[in-house]
A and B are shown apart, each in its own frame.
Chain A
């Protein structure tokens, strides 16, 4: 079945450090891939998405590229800020009424000033 695996956290970085959160997936066909973010005390919100191979999603300085050959969708940011501290979820969806979004376990990021 479909699944998403992301690196375990927590990840602790200093401000302005480079961030990578790894995400790999298993799916049949051609799913769309997502990164959602959950800030403390809030619900999840979409950070970025990519709908086909080699697409790059980007938002708020974060980027992720849909790599079909390695079945990966790693999240990167060149310079993190304290305000980026949150939990990040990688997810995939194959569409259709019966399909649901499959989420990874989430990776907590702490950014220190």
Chain B
């Protein structure tokens, strides 16, 4: 299957700093990329959906000024957590999909563990 990478795999930062997480589709061009946040009891929360060259669509309750998403190309999307606080500590997962058909699967990155001190 297709490969999606994320970098870094884990990051520890001080409260008030910003952190950037990169998501790349390595062997395909992604029509759409998604950012999820996964909570300790495994539920997967969609944060935003983005298409290359256009603004991300954020889910209700997700602060777009705090979680900046840039979808610079068909193979790269970045999530920047601005002015991070301890409550932002979580596991962030990106996903990419090629095509717009219902049967197109999503390919997931391995996730990034963010810890804010």
Contacts and interface: CB of A to CB of B under 8 A. Distances in A.
A34 B103 CA distance: 9
Contacts, number: 64
Interface in B1-60: 1, 4, 6, 31-32, 34, 42-44, 46, 49, 51
A45 interface: yes
Interface stretch (A16-24, A67-75, A76-84, A102-110): A102-110
Nearest to A42: B110
A96 B103 contact: no
Given A87-B42, A106-B42, A97 B100 contact: yes
A100 interface: yes
Contacts of B34: 100-101
Contacts of B49: 100
Contact of B1 (A38, A45, A51, A87): A45
Contacts of A36: 108
Contacts of B101: 32, 95
B110 A43 contact: yes
Contacts of A95: 100-104
Given A87-B42, A103-B44, A105-B42, A43 B102 contact: no
A60 to B, nearest CB: 13
A94 B102 contact: yes
Contacts of B95: 44
Interface of A: 30-32, 34, 36, 38, 42-46, 49, 51, 87, 89, 93-97, 99-101, 103, 105-106, 108
4 tightest CB-CB pairs across the interface, nearest first?
Answer: A95-B102, A32-B102, A43-B108, A44-B108
Interface of B: 1, 4, 6, 31-32, 34, 42-44, 46, 49, 51, 93, 95, 97, 100-111
